[in-house]
């Protein structure tokens, strides 16, 4: 459905924008007895600027969209969690579902998830997608590759190249984001399936749960040079549910994961390291009880670069590189499923966060975020009537 209507954003005028920005660090933490491990690990100084923003709805009528990629002609390829993939034209026209997708397990948080274009997509038409795949005994996160037909109507040569082990009969924490590793390999983020006690297997080395993988992009085989951390595909372990991942301008991988009640984390994963879940974590369990006696540090386990308490519910990450907002160059933009802010912006200095801003409100649950070719920020809202939004200067 084509709308192209302009929505008044929370930052449509400067004073409301700055007033809203000053509020988020005043919110009390869920775990007041916990303290950051180092200065600047939480509640960084609030970034303020004089940029008034607007959000234009390019199209709506999407069924719980999950991920997007911009095609060479300016269209957007979008996944919908129930199992559809569509193309949205630059003018907002929504295509019929693309044919050729495999069956997905559209249960709970599962379904069709991320999509990633080949770096030479304009020539090869190759892409990858992740999804919850049905399997005997339950479901598991899988990755497939295919080519998109020249008329954008069908996936051709679909081949599943990876499936998470073990299979689990659950509805939660599938992950997953796909990121080019820059060397012909893919990074794949995988959730730990949430339930107690299976979440504890994020610390075990005989499975893919709560792990970050690095695999060959064409075959799914373990990438050469992996650290030998349990299964040969595993690059790092100890994650909860990573739904945001991207490489920065220096080529470094960053992830942002859903924590418990007050424990969302920004990490810069490195090979062979253990990021702690669920042995150490900030925040509390959803019932208000401490997790593993509430400890936040242990030898042999990495601290997050940054954490949020209260949470932002992060999904989607991109490092800004565009002409529309030169003031944001290099900043990390993170989609927020919390509807009081559409996205969070972090200013980084090396491996540390030096400032945080939050932009817009009332736009819906932002599942993915991207930067368009013209520098606009694109948002995808995970709703029954989901939308693709274009954020630009007022």
Domains of the chain, with CATH numbers? 1-62+258-394 (2.120.10.30), 77-238 (2.120.10.30)
Give yes or no: 173 in active site: yes
Could you tell me if 179 and 215 are in contact, meaning their C-beta atoms sit under 8 angstroms apart? no
Q: How far apart are CA 192 and CA 131, in angstroms?
A: 15
Output the pLDDT for position 22: 57
Residue 59 is encoded by which pair of tokens?
């199209």
Residues 6 or more apart whose CB falls under 8 angstroms from that of 120 comprise: 126
Give, in order, the Cα–Cα distances in Å from 218 to each of 54, 143, 152, 183, 249: 40, 11, 21, 12, 24
DSSP per-residue string spanning 218-254: TT-PBPTT----SSTTEEEE--S-EEEEEE-TTS-EE
287 CB-contact burial (10 Å; exposed 0-12 / middle 13-18 / buried 19+)? exposed
Give, in order, the Cα–Cα distances in Å from 51 to each of 11, 375, 394: 8, 14, 8
pLDDT under 70: residue ranges of the chain: 1-22
Could you tell me if 132 and 106 are in contact, meaning their C-beta atoms sit under 8 angstroms apart? yes
What are the residue ranges of helices labelled H in the chain? 14-21, 121-124
Residues 6 or more apart whose CB falls under 8 angstroms from that of 126 comprise: 117, 118, 120, 145, 146, 147
Output the pLDDT for position 12: 34
Could you tell me if 200 and 206 are in contact, meaning their C-beta atoms sit under 8 angstroms apart? no
CA 158 to chain CA centroid, nearest Å: 24
Marked catalytic residue, from 64, 173, 258, 359: 173
Output the pLDDT for position 340: 86
List the one residue out of 178, 145, 94, 140 whose CA is nearest residue 388: 94
Task: Give the helix, strand, coil percentages of the chain, each rounded to 5.
Answer: 5, 40, 55
pTM: 0.95
Q: How far apart are CA 24 and CA 207, in angstroms?
A: 38
Could you tell me if 238 and 276 are in contact, meaning their C-beta atoms sit under 8 angstroms apart? yes
4 CB-contact burial (10 Å; exposed 0-12 / middle 13-18 / buried 19+)? exposed
Give, in order, the Cα–Cα distances in Å from 43 to each of 39, 107, 142, 311, 318: 10, 35, 36, 11, 21
Start-to-end CA span in the chain (Å): 24
């Amino acid at each position: 459905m084509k709308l192209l209507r302009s929505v008044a954003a929370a930052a449509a005028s400067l004073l409301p924008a700055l007033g809203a920005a000053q509020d988020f660090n005043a919110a009390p933490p869920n775990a007041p007895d916990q303290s950051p491990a180092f200065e600047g690990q939480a509640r960084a100084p609030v970034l303020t600027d004089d940029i008034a923003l607007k959000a234009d709805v390019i199209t709506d009528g999407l069924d719980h969209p999950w991920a997007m990629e911009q095609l060479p002609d300016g269209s957007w390829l979008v996944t919908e969690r129930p199992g559809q993939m569509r193309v949205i034209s630059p003018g907002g026209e929504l295509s019929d579902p693309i044919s050729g997708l495999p069956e997905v397990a559209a249960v709970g948080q599962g379904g069709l998830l991320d999509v990633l274009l080949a770096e030479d997509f304009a020539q090869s038409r190759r892409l990858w997608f992740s999804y919850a795949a049905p399997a005997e005994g339950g479901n598991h996160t899988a990755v497939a590759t295919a080519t998109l037909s020249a008329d954008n109507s069908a996936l051709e040569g679909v081949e599943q190249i990876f499936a998470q082990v073990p299979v689990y009969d659950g509805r939660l924490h599938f992950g997953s984001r796909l990121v080019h590793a820059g060397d012909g390999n893919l990074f794949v983020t995988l959730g730990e399936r949430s339930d107690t006690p299976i979440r504890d297997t994020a610390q075990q080395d005989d499975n893919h749960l709560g792990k970050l993988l690095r695999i060959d992009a064409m075959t799914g085989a373990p990438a050469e040079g992996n650290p030998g951390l349990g299964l040969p595909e595993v690059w790092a372990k100890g994650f909860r549910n990573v739904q945001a991942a991207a490489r920065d301008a220096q080529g470094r991988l960053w992830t942002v994961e859903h924590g418990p009640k007050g424990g969302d984390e920004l990490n810069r994963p490195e090979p062979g390291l253990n990021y702690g879940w669920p042995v150490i974590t900030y925040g509390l369990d959803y019932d208000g009880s401490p997790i593993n006696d509430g400890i936040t540090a242990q030898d042999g386990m990495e601290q997050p670069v940054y954490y949020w308490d209260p949470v932002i519910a992060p999904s989607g990450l991109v490092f800004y590189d565009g002409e529309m907002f030169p003031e944001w160059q290099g900043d990390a933009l993170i989609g927020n499923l919390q509807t009081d802010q559409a996205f969070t912006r972090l200013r980084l200095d090396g491996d540390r966060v030096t400032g945080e801003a939050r932009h817009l409100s009332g736009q819906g649950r932002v599942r993915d975020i991207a930067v368009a070719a013209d520098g606009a920020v694109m948002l995808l809202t995970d709703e029954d009537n989901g939308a693709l939004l274009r954020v630009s200067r007022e």
